[in-house]
Amino acid sequence: MKRISRLLSDRLALLSLAVLAAIAAAGMLAPWLAPHPPDEVNMALRYGPWSLHYPLGNDQLGRCVLSRILYGIRPSVLLVLAAVLASVLIGAAVGMAAGYAGGRTDALLMRLCDVMLSFPGYVMTLAVIGVLGVGLQNILLAFILMKWAWFARIVRSSVRQIADADYVRFARTLGTGSLAILFRHILPVCVPELAVVASSSFGSTLLQVSGLSFLGLGIQAPQAEWGMMLSEARQSMFSRPELMLAPGLMIVLTVSAVNFLSDAMQQAVDPQAGSSKRHQPERAEAALIGREVA
Amino acid sequence: MIRYAARRLLTAVLLLLVISFLAFLLQQLAPVDPAEAVLHAQGVPQVTSELIAQKKAELGLDRPLLRQYASWLASSVQLDFGLSYVTGKPVWSLLGPAFMHTLQLTAVSAAAIILLSVALGVYCALREDAWPDRATRGAAFLLTAMPPYWLAAWLVWLFSVKLDLLPTSGMDSAASFVLPTAVLAVGYAGVYFRVIRSSMIAGRNEDYVLYGRANGLTERAITRRVLANSLQVAVPMFGMAVPILLGSTVVVENVFAWPGLGTLSVKAILGRDYPVIQAFVLLLASSFVVFNAVSEVLSGLLNPRLRKDL
């Protein structure tokens, strides 16, 4: 029974991965897959129903909804992913430096992280957009500025746990250089946990970025982005609620896949989660704060 | 314990100083000259360079940066954040009422979140892996993957337009709280109840439960004790939730036209009203730090093991 359920959860993870890969591929291949240019206005087809030429219908300007969804993958998913990866890289670098160097460097870098983390997410983002002006790139910049500290803390605490392990001491005795030890012996141990937190933070970031675009603080018209599309659809939602469906469901699908994957990874990293006595609550909490609901 | 609390509060004060300096720098980074903006806000028809220089001296903008910071901090502490660039009114006269409205929404939502997560967490933990547990977790999974504004739009469509039961927006009566609170509560409780659930499940395997059972305690009494222990995890979590909530009502407030900080801040950003943005950042970041410090001291009271960390 246990094996079956584990297999099933693995299958779900595989399915989620497949869904995400398909979405990413569709985003990259949007110019070839989209049946129409995403900005092509056709007032004769306003609020057009689903048809063969326009599989998801037309929006308030007669633009092809499917094409806009496909092009929207780029800012809504791919750019957000890039921003999360950037903050993971920065966080990993700072975390490894702090954890491995220890002493004053560690204390200084960690206080810096404290300051960064003491700004609630949205406030930091709004502050950055407030100074630099509205726009998707500024939102993403704000996220990178904020999230690296979170990843740095996680990597740092893993590094500190491992830095004194016997095999690391052994490598040091053999005269292995610091960088080699970091990359060959310490980094691989941190990766699984980092992947769990990064993936759950990807889901929440995606929701938050789309929310800011929805408020008009992100990408500007006529560019296609899911949050932006929802904000346009909301104007006519009492007469045409169906326009809210496609972009909203795409966000739900993407975020669900990301969250499934992240939960499955957490299970794989720590199969004890859910039954273990000691470690479990803190771990769950760490993952949850990373997710930081929008 | 007193030493622990004192050290924790000292850190919080230091952090507040750093944060306030960063918030102060915000305005220095902004591409608008404060003196010029204030003149515009006061409705001066012809802004000349002499007027700007005069205003600069009046506002003390020609002084060294740290001196400016000190006087800015002194007046900020007295809630004097200067004048809004857009309306020309004192910032606090806009921010104060908005803050109260957001606090009300946050308080009601926090209460709903705590009740909902504890109730669902206990309910699901007692039925681990049975269908009610699975169904709740499944629904929570789906709801937390939804953009809150999307959920909000559908709720408005259903309850306000189709059924005509609740107001679509604004803050006029108790009924106005229902939809925004529901959207906020669903998002947070959907995550938090899982923590309570798993910590209760883990807690049920502890030795004291076995001991209690051997002593003939009823299941009800045991559940109560396990829950009391799970609250050690829950209290800091809820403590964190309040300030996070305070800062993330932005989207929900804008959807429901709630006259709070979220609506005000987005308006300020779109209107490039820097004093308002600055005061907003300072206010929320400070509440975040204060809430964190208080909730950490509280968890220290509940769980002596945590005190050693500092």
Mean local confidence (pLDDT), B120-149: 87
Check CB contact of A173 with chain B, cutoff 8 Å: no
Q: Which of B192, B270, B284 sits opposite A216 (nearest CB)?
A: B270
Q: Do B147 and A294 touch (CB under 8 A)?
A: yes
Mutate to test the interface with B, among A2, A131, A253, A282 (most CBs of B within 10 A): A131
Rg from Cα positions in chain B: 24
Q: Where are the domains of chain B?
A: 1-86+273-310, 101-270
Mean pLDDT over the full length of chain B: 83
Q: From residue B30, how far is each of A72, A146, B25, B60, B275 by CA, in Å?
A: 31, 19, 9, 17, 10
Collapsing DSSP to helix, strand or coil, B272 comes out as coil
Closest partner CB to B148 (pick from A118, A275, A294): A294
* CB-closest option in A131, A134, A280 to B198: A280
Q: Check pLDDT > 80 for residue B27.
A: no
- Element holding A291 (H helix, E strand): helix A280-291
Partner A, chain B 190-249, Cβ-Cβ below 8 Å:
190-192, 194-195, 198-199, 201-202, 205-206, 233, 237, 240, 243-244, 246-248
Give Cα separations from A281 to A276, B194, B195, B229, B297 (angstroms): 9, 10, 7, 12, 19
* One-letter identity of residue A142: A
Residues of A in contact with B254 (CB under 8 A): 215
Q: Which pLDDT tens digits describe chain A residue by residue (294 residues)?
A: 555 566 566 778 888 888 999 999 988 888 888 788 888 777 777 777 777 777 888 887 878 888 888 888 888 889 999 999 999 999 999 988 888 887 888 888 888 887 787 777 778 888 888 888 888 888 999 889 888 888 898 888 888 888 778 888 888 888 887 788 888 888 887 888 888 888 888 988 898 889 888 888 888 878 888 988 888 888 887 788 888 888 889 999 999 999 888 888 877 776 655 443 333 444 444 444 444 433
Name the B residues in 90-119 with CB < 8 Å from any A CB.
none
Distance from CA of B209 to the nearest CA of A (A): 13
How far apart CA B133 and CA B126 sit, in angstroms, is 9
Nearest CA in chain A to B251: A211
Report how far residue B221's alpha carbon sits from residue B236's, in angstroms, rounded to the nearest whole number.
24
The alpha-carbon gap from A122 to the nearest alpha carbon of chain B, in Å, equals: 6
A267 touches chain B (CB under 8 A): no
Preferred mutation among B15, B232, B250 to probe A, highest tally of A CBs within 10 A: B250
* Residues of chain B positioned with their CB less than 8 A from the CB of A285: 195, 233, 237
pLDDT score, position A271:
63
As a whole number, mean pLDDT of residues B45-71 equals: 80
Relative orientation angle of helices B175-203 and B219-247, to the nearest 10 degrees: 130
CB contact under 8 A, A244 and B240: no
Q: Which is nearest to B95 in space by CA: B301, B218, B263, B304?
A: B263
Give pTM, 2 decimals. 0.83
How much is the pLDDT for A82? 93
- Could B202 and A248 be called an inter-chain contact, meaning their C-beta atoms sit closer than 8 Å? no
Residue type, B97: P
Is B268 an 8 Å CB contact of chain A?
yes
Q: Are B181 and B114 in contact (CB under 8 A)?
A: no
Find the CB nearest A130 among B191, B233, B269. B269
Q: At what angle do helices B2-29 and B274-302 cross, to 10 degrees?
A: 160
Asked whether the bond before A49 is cis by omega within 30 degrees of 0, the reply is: no
Q: How distant is the Cα of A154 from the closest Cα of chain B, in angstroms?
A: 16
Interface contacts A/B by beta carbons within 8 Å:
163
Look up residue B23 and give its two tokens: 């918030």
pLDDT tens, B233-277?
787 777 777 777 887 788 899 888 889 898 999 988 888 888 888
Quick one: tokens of B60?
């003390």
B90 phi and psi, to 5 degrees? -60, 140
Q: B272-309: buried (b, 16+ CB within 10 Å) or exposed (e) per residue?
A: bbbbbbbbbbbbbbbbbbbbbbbbbbebbeeeeeebee
Question: Where does B94-253 show beta strands of DSSP type E?
Answer: none
Reply yes or no on domain B101-270 having CATH 2.40.50.100: no
Query: If you average pLDDT over residues B194-221, what whole number do you get?
Result: 84
Task: Please indicate if any CB of chain A lies within 8 Å of the CB of B174.
Answer: no
Return left, alpha or beta for B166; rule: phi > 0 is left, psi -120 to 50 is alpha, else beta.
beta
Residue B125 has pLDDT above 60, yes or no: yes
Query: Which residues of chain A does B244 touch, with a Cβ-Cβ cutoff of 8 Å?
Result: 120-121, 292
Cβ B19–A119 below 8 Å, yes or no?
yes
Q: What percent of chain B is helix, strand and coil (3-state, nearest 5)?
A: 80, 0, 20
Please check whether residue A149 touches B, CB under 8 A. Answer: no
Is there a contact between A214 and A231 (Cβ–Cβ < 8 Å)? yes
Across the interface, whether the CB atoms of B281 and A131 are under 8 A apart is answered no
3-state helix vs strand vs coil in chain A, percent to 5: 75, 0, 25
| pLDDT of A85 | 93
Burial class from Cβ neighbours inside 10 Å (0-12, 13-18, 19+) for residue B101 reads: buried
Cβ atoms of B101 and B259 closer than 8 Å = yes
* Residues B85-106: tens digit of each pLDDT: 888 788 888 888 999 999 999 9
CB contact under 8 A, A281 and B153: no
- pLDDT for A89: 92
What whole-number distance in Å separates Cα of residue A196 and Cα of residue A155? Answer: 12
